[in-house]
């Protein structure tokens, strides 16, 4: 399983490069232009895949040399599946098999959230080494927003909801994204490496929609920006709360003569 994780980590940037070269079909940017929505982000936002893939590759290589780590052993199947599905999604999305792409990205998100949750600081366990929790958290944070971009594109591609007034159902997607992101940030005690990619994408939505030609784009832009501030704000509040609890525990331990960790 260790080698499967490493191979799937290597495959992601390779498949991404082939996808951007148009090997599998239209690029993601071209498809987004064909099916405009109120939740799509500006093109620059997708550059975050570069550092995400680089960190995933670091994770894939380093985990090869950690055989006795029970937590790593527990999440290896999940990370292998998540990385494989990320590569598969890029191919399927280029082929414009939108329903299959949608199923793949949601399944990959489930695997990523489980892996990130296991390595992040939560009420059930302490945080893992940075090279585990940072890559998985960033990947999960970005995909947690990307799934809703994919839903919106599927709606437009198949004309499932009114396209002349996309704002009502787009606001529903923003609300669902808010629930997912805020619950995850809260559960992972303000995990900044989960929150920042999501906020980055939401700010990208703001800049895209602010000058977009679609009806309701201006409202969507400000909703996205507000959600970005909410995600970052909750992350900061949770980190400050955790720091205060840590100082309190250290003070109590010091007064009782117990050693602090």
Q: Are 221 and 209 in contact (CB under 8 A)?
A: yes
- Which residue pairs, CB below 8 angstroms and at least 24 apart, start in 92-96? 93/28, 93/31, 93/150, 94/19, 94/24, 94/25, 94/26, 94/27, 94/28, 94/31, 95/24, 95/25, 96/25, 96/26, 96/31, 96/157
pLDDT in tens, the chain (261 residues): 889 999 999 999 999 999 988 889 888 888 888 899 999 999 899 999 999 999 999 999 999 888 777 888 889 999 999 999 999 999 999 999 999 999 999 999 999 999 999 888 776 667 778 888 899 999 999 999 999 999 999 999 999 999 999 999 999 999 999 999 999 999 998 999 999 999 999 999 999 999 888 899 999 999 999 999 999 999 999 989 887 876 776 667 667 655 555
For position 129, what pLDDT does the model report?
84
Q: What is the pTM of this model?
A: 0.90
Distance CA 222, CA 261 (A): 44
Q: Where are the domains of the chain?
A: 2-256
Q: What is the DSSP letter of 46?
A: G
Q: What integer pLDDT is reported at residue 83 of this predicted model?
A: 96
What is the pLDDT at residue 66?
A: 80
pLDDT at site 123: 62
Instruction: Measure the CA–CA gap between 175 and 117, rounded to whole angstroms.
Output: 22
Cβ contacts of 125 within 8 Å, gap of 6 or more: 71, 118
């Amino acid at each position: 399983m260790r080698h499967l994780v490493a191979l799937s980590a290597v495959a992601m940037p390779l498949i991404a490069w082939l996808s951007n070269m148009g090997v599998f079909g239209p690029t993601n940017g071209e498809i987004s232009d064909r099916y405009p929505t109120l939740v799509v982000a500006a093109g620059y936002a997708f550059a975050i895949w570069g550092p995400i893939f680089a960190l995933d590759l670091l994770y894939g290589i380093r985990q090869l040399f950690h055989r006795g780590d029970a937590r790593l052993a527990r999440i290896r199947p999940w990370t292998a599946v998540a990385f494989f599905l990320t590569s598969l999604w890029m191919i399927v999305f280029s082929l414009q098999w939108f329903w299959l792409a949608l199923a793949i990205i949601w399944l990959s998100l489930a695997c990523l959230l489980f892996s990130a949750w296991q390595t992040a600081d939560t009420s059930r366990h302490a945080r893992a080494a940075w090279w585990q929790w940072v890559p998985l958290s960033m990947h999960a944070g970005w995909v947690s927003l990307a799934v809703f971009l994919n839903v919106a594109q599927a709606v437009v591609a198949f004309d499932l909801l009114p396209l002349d007034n996309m704002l009502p159902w787009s606001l529903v997607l923003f609300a669902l994204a808010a629930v997912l992101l805020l619950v995850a940030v809260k559960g992972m005690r303000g995990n900044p490496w989960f929150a920042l990619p999501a906020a980055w994408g939401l700010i990208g939505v703001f800049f895209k929609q602010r000058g977009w030609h679609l009806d309701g784009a201006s409202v969507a832009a400000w909703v996205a920006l507000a959600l970005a501030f909410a995600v970052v704000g909750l992350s900061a509040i949770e980190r400050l709360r955790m720091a205060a609890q840590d100082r309190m525990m250290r003070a109590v331990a010091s007064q009782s003569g117990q050693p602090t960790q």
